[in-house]
Structure 1
C-alpha cells in the first residue's frame, strides 16, 4: 500500500509560470489584446516619483479588480485570497509564485481615494473602442432595459426622509406646448409651481437605508421589499454593452432612460431603439422619433372595460381637433392639463337619449369624457411600427441580447455596480 502512495507537494520542479497556464485561458486572450501604456500615462500625476518608497503598480490594482469582475468573485478580500493560489491569476498580474500579492485594502484605497473617479468609465470606453476597431459592435440596433440588483443592505435598518422632487427632463418643453394649446382654447396658462421646482418646496417621502444610503427600496408585484440598485443598460445586437447608468432601485426605467439614450446615441449611429413596455411613454416615443430613429416597443394590454367602446373605436378629426364616437357624436377638445392630458367631452344634450351610453361609459349627466396625451400621435406611430415584420423580429431579439447581458450581470454582480457611479437620487424625479 505504501508503494501506491506518493506525495509530490515538496518535490522541486524547474519550470516557469507561463508554461503552467493553458494556452486557451481567457486571461491570455485578454492580455494579448489589451495595452496599458495609456493607463500609466493617465495615472502618473497621481503618484509621487521623487520621494518615498515606490507605489504598487496601478495596472496591477486594476487587473485585480478585472479578475474580480470576470470571475464573479464577491469581494476584493476574496479576490486577494484567490489570486494567491491561482497560477493564471498570478501570471495575468505578472507576479511569480513567491511574490506577495498587493493587499485588498490597497486596491480599495486606490479606487476610492487615489484614482480619478472617472477612471472606471474611461477603461470601459477604451475597451469598447477596441471592440469597435475590430468590427465587433453593430450599434445600428440597440436594446435598452433595466435590471434590479440586490444591495448588501439590511432591509430592517432604514429611516424615512422627505426629499425634494425634481422636475422631469422634458417638463419645460411639455409646459410650453401645453400652454400653447391652452391659449388656443382660451384657458389661462399654467405657471411653474412648487411641485415643479426642487427648491420651491415640492417634496416626497422615501425610505433610506442606514446601511447603504445610495440604494433604494424596491417592490415589484408580489416580490418582497428589499433594497436594491438598478442597472439601466444599452447593448447592441451582439450583446456588447454600449452604456450603463446605475440608479437606486426605486427609480423607474423611463426616468433614467434619457441618460442612457443620450449617451449612446451621441457616440453611435443608432437607427433602431428596442425597449420593453416600461419605456412606452409619450415622451420616449416623441424623443426617439423626432431624433430620426425608430422605436420598437411591445404591445401593452388594454386595462379599461372589456364590454364597452375602446379608445380606438373613436375616430379623430385633426381638422376640427375632435373625436367622433361610433354613434356619430362629437367630443370637443375642452382643456389640456399640466401633465399634457387632453380632455375631450361630448355634449350631454346630444348624448342623454343615446341607447349606447352603457357602452361608452358616459357619466350620470350623459357626458362622455375621453383623454389622450398631447404627444399621442407619437404613441400611435409606435403602435404601427410594432405591427411590422421588422418590428416583431427586432423585439424578439431581446431574449438573446439584453436579457442575456443581465443574466451574465447577475452572475457577476460587482461588475455592474462598479462600472459607473450611482446616479444621484436627486435626479430620480
Structure 2
C-alpha cells in the first residue's frame, strides 16, 4: 500500500485494538503460496491481492457477517481498512469476489492447508506444549428445510427445467413437461415424479452433452436423487437444494437436519483437525482422519481424550500401534464384534441401530449367559410393518418373518486392558479435561455462525468450518501469546 494523506486517520485506531494485536502476531502471507496454482500468472486481468481477500474472509468470520455486510462495514470502518492494508479512500472488492475466492481459490485444494498453517505458527511460537488431543463432534443445521420425497423430486425437476430454459430458451419444447398428477395418481405420485426426473436428466444430457456451470450442478443433483435407494423410504436425500445434508441424532429423542463437524483440539484449545460429514455419520469413524491431520500439522500426540463414540476396537488398536494412551470410556457394545450385516450402524447417542433404509430399531434386549461375556449379544428389534414395505427388503427381510433383528456381540476380552485403566485415578483425572472441547464447540456456534450453515453442500460446509476454526485458533493464539509475555 502507498500511504495517502488520509492514512493519518489510522492513528486514531487504539494501540490495544484486537486487530492490531492479530496483525502483529499472525502471519497471513502463507495464503500467497496456497492459492498461487489457482491463478493464471500470464493471462487475464490482474487478480485482487489474495492476502487482502483472505483478510476480508477473516474479518467476515470474526464478526459473523455476510459477504455483502463485510464489504459495507469495511468501507466505513477505519480499523478494518487498516487491517486490510489499504488507504481509507480506497475502494473494496465486489462481494461476489469473496465467493469466488472462497470456492474457487481456497476450495480448489488449499483450504486444508489454511488450518495447518495456523497450527504450525502456534507450534513455532511455543504455544503448544501439551501432547494430548481431545476429540468431539458438533452439528450444524442445513441452510435449507427438510422435504418429503415428492417435494424433493418436484423441486429438483423444476430447478433443472428452469435453468436449462433460462440458458437455452429454444430447448423448452424438446424437454419433457412436468406431469400433472391427478387424484387417482396420488399413491404412485413419487414413482411418477421419480421417472420424470430421470427422463428429464437423460434428455438434458442428450441435448447438451457439453453442459457446464449451473446446468451441470442441477444435473448432478438430479442424478444423485434418482440413484438414492433410500429416497422413497424418506431416509435418503431430503432437500433438492442441499442434497448433501442428512438427518442425524443428538440423542434418543432429539434429531437435526444438516452436517457434523468432527474436531480435534489440544489442551491449549488450539484446534488441530476438522472433518466435516453429513449429519448421519458415525463419530468414531472419523478418528483416524482427525489423528492423521493432527500429526501432519506437526503435533506430537501421546494421549487422546474422547467420549464412548471413539471406543471402537479399530480406534483402540490404532492408538496402541502409535503408543498413544486412550482416555476413552468404553461402550459395552463392540462395534466390530461378531458378524455384521452390511449397512447397519449403531448410534451411540440415541442407543439404537439404523438399517440401510434409514429406519431405527424400536427396542433392544441382551441375550446369552451372564457368566460368559463372549457369548452374550445385544439384540435390536425393528418394526416388521415398515420392513414389509421397505424398498431394500430383498436379502434383508424374509417374507412372512415375525421379527427382524440385528445382533451385536459383546466381547469384553478385547478391552480388558482398557477396562482396568478406566478404574485408575489417572483415567478419572484425565477424563475431566474432556468438557473443554464442548466450550470450544459453543464458541464456534455462538459467536461465529456455526449453528446454521451459511452455504449449501458438503464442499462449501467444509470451507466454512475450516475458515471458522482458523479464526477461533487465531483468537486463542493471541490470548496464549499475551499470557506467555506477561509471565516472562
TM-score, normalised by the number of residues in structure 2: 0.57
Q: 1:255 deviation in Å?
A: 2.2
Query: Equivalent residue for 2:485?
Result: none
**Residues 135-187 of structure 1, C-alpha deviations (whole Å, 9 max, x = no match):** 111351110111111121112366499xxxxxxxxxxxxxxxxxxxxxxxxxx
1:381 aligns with 2:425: no
With over 3 angstroms needed to count, the CA separation of the structure-2 counterparts of 1:148 and 1:36, relative to structure 1, is closer
Query: Equivalent residue for 2:356?
Result: none
Q: Which residue of the other structure, out of 36, 44, 50, is the alignment partner of 1:58?
A: 50
Q: Which residue of the other structure, out of 440, 445, 448, is the alignment partner of 1:410?
A: 445
Q: 1:120 deviation in Å?
A: 1.9
Q: Which residue of the other structure, out of 429, 437, 442, is the alignment partner of 1:393?
A: 429
Give structure 1 stretches of 5+ with no counterpart. 1-12, 162-200, 304-334, 340-359, 422-429
Q: Which residue of the other structure, out of 213, 216, 234, is the alignment partner of 2:243?
A: 213
- Counterpart CA distance in 2 for 1:41 and 1:275 is 35
Q: SS at 2:244's partner residue?
A: coil
With over 3 angstroms needed to count, the CA separation of the structure-2 counterparts of 1:376 and 1:265, relative to structure 1, is farther
How many residues of Structure 1 are paired with residues of Structure 2 in the alignment? 313
Q: SS at 2:108's partner residue?
A: coil
Query: Equivalent residue for 2:131?
Result: 140
**Residues 104-159 of structure 1, C-alpha deviations (whole Å, 9 max, x = no match):** 10111122234562222212211111100111113511101111111211123664
**Residues 233-262 of structure 1, C-alpha deviations (whole Å, 9 max, x = no match):** 000111110111010111011122222123
Q: 1:17 deviation in Å?
A: 3.4
- Counterpart CA distance in 2 for 1:413 and 1:86 is 21
- Counterpart CA distance in 1 for 2:426 and 2:438 is 20
Alignment of 1:79-158 (within 5 A): 79-115=70-106, 117-156=108-147
Query: Equivalent residue for 1:31?
Result: 23
- Counterpart CA distance in 2 for 1:125 and 1:393 is 30
Q: Which of 371-380 and 107-116 deviates more? A: 371-380
Q: Which residue of the other structure, out of 280, 284, 294, is the alignment partner of 2:315?
A: 284
Q: SS at 1:230's partner residue?
A: strand
**Residues 383-405 of structure 1, C-alpha deviations (whole Å, 9 max, x = no match):** 222222221121111122x1121
Query: Equivalent residue for 1:370?
Result: 376
With over 3 angstroms needed to count, the CA separation of the structure-2 counterparts of 1:216 and 1:394, relative to structure 1, is same
Specify the structure having the higher radius of gyration (Cα).
1
1:273 aligns with 2:333: no
Q: 1:230 deviation in Å?
A: 0.6
1:69 aligns with 2:69: no
Cα-Cα RMSD: 3.5
Query: Equivalent residue for 1:254?
Result: 284
- Counterpart CA distance in 1 for 2:252 and 2:67 is 34
Q: 1:377 deviation in Å?
A: 3.2
Retained in 2: the 8 A contact 1:282–1:375?
Answer: no
- Counterpart CA distance in 2 for 1:336 and 1:36 is 51
Which is richer in helix? 2
Q: Which runs of 4+ in 1 moved over 6 A?
A: 360-363
Query: Equivalent residue for 2:201?
Result: none
- Counterpart CA distance in 1 for 2:60 and 2:6 is 30
Retained in 2: the 8 A contact 1:157–1:210?
Answer: no
- Counterpart CA distance in 1 for 2:105 and 2:29 is 18
Q: Which of 389-398 and 51-60 deviates more? A: 51-60
- Counterpart CA distance in 2 for 1:47 and 1:406 is 35
- Counterpart CA distance in 1 for 2:116 and 2:264 is 14
- Counterpart CA distance in 2 for 1:61 and 1:27 is 16
- Counterpart CA distance in 2 for 1:387 and 1:225 is 33
- Counterpart CA distance in 2 for 1:262 and 1:44 is 26
TM-score, normalised by the number of residues in structure 1: 0.64
